[in-house]
């Protein structure tokens, strides 16, 4: 087997440099532990940005994939398959919606929600086509397509990619009054993350999402919740919007829906929204493929059967309490919900991340000063305690 350095060198040589990964190579993963080419083991405290809520290679999800591999993996949407309806029915039930539109990646699901909102605005609300407006938030992260980076306030994501897509407005995150002031007769939707992950685990004040729900209903605009990172139990509820007992008009879902095996995404909404689509108006060759549906069905089964929301809530409190015991004057905030936790420093957090990795904990800084901790939800308390011991040792001043 090639060494870590050799693998990184070859990857850098042949692959475009659109990422700057930490210098760790993962060749094997099981539950919350991964192994590099030299045999060194690490606790994965990032979980592929919440895609690995079930840990690495969950045996039941792997089996579901293997079983489906022996049957049929892809039909495209030119033909029916016998499992797509089961996936759509279960996801609709889980989200308490009536219909589902499957895609593959989170960015595709966001794009699908934008197209849904624009068409709904033109066909249902009566906004003149080409004048539909969608409002989003500062410091958002919804993906990296041209339309999505139009909404971004991150210069790195935008530089050199213009011209951008028209029809978007940006308001301050967490400010419901700013949202209401930005609404015009042409506004068709508001897109928001219930918790901003890439921005540094930013949790809005209690009542924000409830106020957003009221405003969207009052002005007849669609409330779109991007729960790609926060969905499927990560924050201690099945969906983060449930912390305020509200539901959006459209859920945007992905990451953990694929069980750490497949890219699976979807939007979920009621029929009076999703019925704007007609044959040929939107689609994806791989969206709703049988292999992805089999994996997602098993993932949803495990989420509910093993009560992952409760698991995330309990372990999240346990981890947060332990992090708050750390004595370091440079830590200025510890925040989050469930097992989506940010530790913010008054300085660059990268040196701490480097030391954590050196000591066997995989984590990553976001927005320079914040370390995100989001281990697999099914991490055992024994593994969590071992990881916490490393965190406390490394992060103590």
> Does residue 330 contact residue 348 with C-beta atoms inside 8 Å?
no
Please say if 255 is a catalytic residue. yes
Q: How far apart are CA 246 and CA 47, in angstroms?
A: 27
**List 255, 298, 315, 337, catalytic entry:** 255
Q: How far apart are CA 122 and CA 63, in angstroms?
A: 44
Structure-block tokens of residue 149: 């980076």
DSSP-derived letter for residue 79 is: S
Please say if 87 is a catalytic residue. no
Using CA atoms, how far residue 171 sits from 168, 204, 295, in Å, is 10, 14, 37
- Contacts of residue 27, defined as CB under 8 A and 6 or more positions apart, other chains included, come to 1, 35, 36, 37
> Does residue 223 contact residue 190 with C-beta atoms inside 8 Å?
yes
Q: Which residue has the tokens 């040792």?
A: 393
Angle at 383 between CA 378 and CA 388, to 5 degrees: 110
Among 394, 385, 393, 384, CA closest to 31: 384
- β-pairing verdict for 168-171 and 133-137: parallel
In order, the DSSP letters of 205-257 are PTTHHHHHHHHHHHTT-EEEEE-TTTTTTTTSSSSGGGGGT---SEEEE-GGG
- Contacts of residue 70, defined as CB under 8 A and 6 or more positions apart, other chains included, come to none
Angle at 287 between CA 283 and CA 289, to 5 degrees: 135
**List 211, 226, 249, 298, catalytic entry:** 226
| Terminal alpha carbon distance of the chain | 38
Please say if 123 is a catalytic residue. no
**List 43, 54, 87, 141, catalytic entry:** 141
- Residue 383 CA from chain centroid, whole number: 24
Phi, psi of 9 (to 5 degrees): -60, -45
Residues designated catalytic? 141, 226, 255
């Amino acid at each position: 087997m090639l060494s870590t350095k050799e693998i990184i060198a070859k990857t850098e040589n042949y692959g475009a440099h659109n990422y700057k990964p930490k210098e760790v190579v993962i060749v094997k993963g099981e539950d919350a532990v991964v192994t590099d080419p030299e045999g060194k083991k690490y606790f994965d405290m990032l979980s592929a940005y919440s895609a690995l809520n079930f840990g690495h290679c969950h045996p039941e999800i792997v089996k579901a994939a293997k079983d489906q591999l022996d049957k049929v993996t892809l039909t495209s949407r030119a033909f029916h398959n016998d499992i797509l309806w089961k996936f759509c029915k279960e996801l609709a039930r889980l989200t308490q919606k009536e219909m589902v539109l499957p895609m593959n990646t989170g960015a595709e699901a966001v794009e699908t929600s934008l197209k849904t909102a624009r068409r709904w605005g033109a066909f249902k609300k009566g906004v003149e086509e080409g004048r539909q407006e969608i409002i989003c938030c500062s410091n958002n992260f919804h993906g990296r397509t041209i339309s999505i980076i139009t909404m971004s306030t991150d210069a790195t994501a935008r530089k050199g990619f213009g011209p951008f897509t028209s029809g978007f407005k940006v308001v301050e995150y967490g400010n419901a009054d700013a949202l209401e002031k930005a609404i015009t007769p042409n506004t068709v939707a508001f897109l928001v993350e219930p918790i901003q992950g890439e921005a540094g685990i930013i949790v809005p004040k209690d009542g924000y999402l409830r106020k957003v729900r009221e405003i969207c209903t009052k002005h007849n605009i669609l409330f779109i919740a991007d729960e790609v990172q926060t969905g499927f139990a990560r924050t201690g509820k099945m969906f983060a919007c449930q912390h305020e007992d509200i539901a959006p008009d459209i859920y945007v879902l992905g990451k953990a829906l694929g069980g750490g095996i497949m890219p699976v995404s979807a939007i979920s909404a009621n029929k009076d929204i999703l019925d704007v689509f007609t044959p040929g108006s939107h689609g994806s060759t791989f969206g709703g493929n049988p292999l992805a549906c089999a994996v997602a069905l098993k993932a949803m089964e495990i989420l509910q059967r093993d009560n992952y929301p409760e698991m995330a809530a309990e372990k999240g409190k346990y981890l947060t309490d332990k992090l708050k015991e750390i004595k370091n004057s440079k830590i200025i905030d510890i925040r989050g919900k469930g097992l989506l936790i940010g530790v913010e420093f008054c300085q660059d957090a990268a040196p701490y991340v480097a030391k954590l990795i050196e000591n066997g904990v995989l984590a990553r800084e976001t927005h320079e000063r914040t370390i995100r901790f989001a281990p697999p939800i099914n991490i055992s308390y024994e593994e969590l305690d071992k990881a916490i011991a490393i965190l406390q040792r490394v992060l103590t001043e």
